[in-house]
Amino acid sequence: MSPFSSESAWLCLAATAVLGGMLLCKSGSPGQLRSQVLCLAGLWGGACLLGLSLLCSVFLLSASCFLLYLSSSDQDLLPVDQKAVLVTGADSGFGHALAKHLDKLGFTVFAGVLDKEGPGAEELRKNCSERLSVLQMDVTKPEQIEDAHSKVTEKIQDKGLWAVVNNAGVLHFPIDAELLPMTFFRKCMAVNFFGAVEVTKAFLPLLRKSKGRLVNVSSMGGVVPFQMLSAYGSTKAAITMFSSILRQELAKWGVKVVTIQPGGFKTNITGSQDSWDKMEKEILDHFSKEIQEDYGQDYVRKQKHMLLAMKDLSNLDLTPVLRDIHHAISARNPSSSYSPGRMTYPFICFAAYSPSSLLDHFMKKHFRPIQMPRALRTAH
């Protein structure tokens, strides 16, 4: 007999729905908790399908809901009070949208940009309040980080710096790690990891003074092993681990460290057609005779379609990311990590906990290369 045919099973499922709804209504960041409630519902459904006794099932449900309640407790947002926030990579994408969003909320915003005279910086100066300051801040250049630190310190004086959002990041041409020149690996690591570390080290004394927030923007690619994105994924995995360690080290100072792991959103990180052509040429220029025979130049050129597919499949609405970063900055007790984006949290859980053989099979089936290398096509 099906476990769902009994009145007790339906009663317990109804209780799950009610408790899940209460948790969602209570949460200040509904996107994050919604994913957790979905996992709770899946856990409860699995218990029913396994035919566990009513007592065991209710105990499992109660324990899970209690843990969720604890994780969602104390979600009240702190007052803005013109708290000062530094955002890196504010030329475009998440950083640009976040700088404008925080400015509208009343924060004092320091927008670090790669090009102070570029269109992104100009738009921030034109459309934001006087509370926002645009800072020239290439995170790969220590002298610019030091200069930005001096300007921030001078402006905030005794008010303190409440939060740093390490958002600056770059993406490389999607291709096998074997074909990716070392310059691509070094650039990704320099911006996505070492840049964030250098900014963090420079501004930590100010965060410790205010007992504020350090928010590092990672990616679901730091957990999910997407083919063709070895350099990018490795740097995001590094910043995720860096954040987890700092979360423990800085707890004694009252500083909360949060990791943001967004799914697929449409930003300028994929670059332009011109940048794609330059990266493609650099890859082809590094071809050895053996690589040429095994892969073929057409294999590289075909992968450009992956960038177009990434753009087409990405979400245009950045609201989930902005909402979660705002919550990480303002919640009295923020979560240690957020995974904005449709199905991002379940996908990360699947990648983290499923057997390697199952994960590899799934990734091979759903994220296969645009074209097989020349030698493999010939063999088949």
Our measurement of the distance from residue 338's CA atom to the centroid of its chain's CA atoms, rounded to an integer in Å, reads: 8
Give the C-alpha separation, 93 to 78, whole Å.
Answer: 26
Cβ contacts of 370-374, under 8 Å, gap ≥ 24: 370/302, 370/303, 370/305, 370/306, 371/298, 371/299, 371/302, 371/303, 372/299, 373/294, 373/295, 373/296, 373/299, 374/293, 374/294, 374/295, 374/296, 374/298, 374/299
Residue 285's CB is within 10 A of a number of other CB atoms, namely 8
Residues labelled as active-site residues: 232
Chain mean pLDDT for the chain: 85
Q: Measured between alpha carbons, how far is residue 144 from residues 60, 85, 150, 221 in Å?
A: 53, 18, 10, 29
> Sign of the C-alpha dihedral, residues 19, 24, 25, 29?
positive
Q: How confident is the model at residue 154 (pLDDT cuts 50, 70, 90)?
A: very high
* Tokens matching residue 109: 């915003």
pLDDT band (50, 70, 90) for residue 197: very high
Q: How confident is the model at residue 151 (pLDDT cuts 50, 70, 90)?
A: very high
Distance CA 366, CA 294 (A): 24
pLDDT of residue 3: 47
Instruction: Say yes or no to pLDDT of 27 above 70.
Output: no
* Region 356-379 average pLDDT: 85
Which amino acid appears at position 84 of this protein? A
Q: How far apart are CA 108 and CA 110, in angstroms?
A: 7
Ordered by where they begin, the domains of the chain are 3-72 (no CATH), 84-265+318-352 (3.40.50.720)
Q: What SS3 class is residue 84? A: strand
**Residue of 38, 58, 101 lying closest to 329 (CA atoms):** 101
From CA 56, how far away is CA 216, in angstroms rounded?
Answer: 40
C-alpha pair distances (Å), 317 with each of 216, 296, 302, 320: 20, 38, 28, 8
> Does residue 83 surpass a pLDDT of 50?
yes
111 has which bridge partners? 87, 134
pLDDT of 113 reads 97
Decide if pLDDT at 257 tops 80. Answer: yes
pLDDT for residue 347 is more than 50: yes
Residue 12 has pLDDT above 70, yes or no: no
**Mean pLDDT across 331-350:** 92
- Which pLDDT does position 4 carry in this prediction? 46
**pLDDT at residue 146 tops 80:** yes
Contacts of 312 (CB under 8 A, 6+ apart): none
Does the structure show a pLDDT above 50 at 66? yes
Q: What is the pLDDT of residue 26?
A: 47
3-state secondary structure of 224: coil
Q: How far apart are CA 87 and CA 45, in angstroms?
A: 42
Question: For the purposes of burial, counting CB atoms within 10 Å of the CB of 134, is it exposed (0-12), middle (13-18) or buried (19 or more)?
Answer: buried
pLDDT at 70: 59
Taking only the tens place, the pLDDT of each residue in 305-329 is 777 777 667 778 899 999 999 999 9
| Predicted pLDDT of residue 268 | 78
Question: pTM of this prediction?
Answer: 0.83
Whether 116 and 110 have beta carbons less than 8 Å apart is answered as no
What is the sign, positive or negative, of the torsion defined by CA atoms of 214, 217, 223, 228? negative
Does the pLDDT value for residue 51 go beyond 70?
A: no
Residue 379: what pLDDT? Answer: 64
**pLDDT class of 377 with cuts at 50, 70, 90:** confident
CB atoms closer than 10 angstroms to residue 47: 21
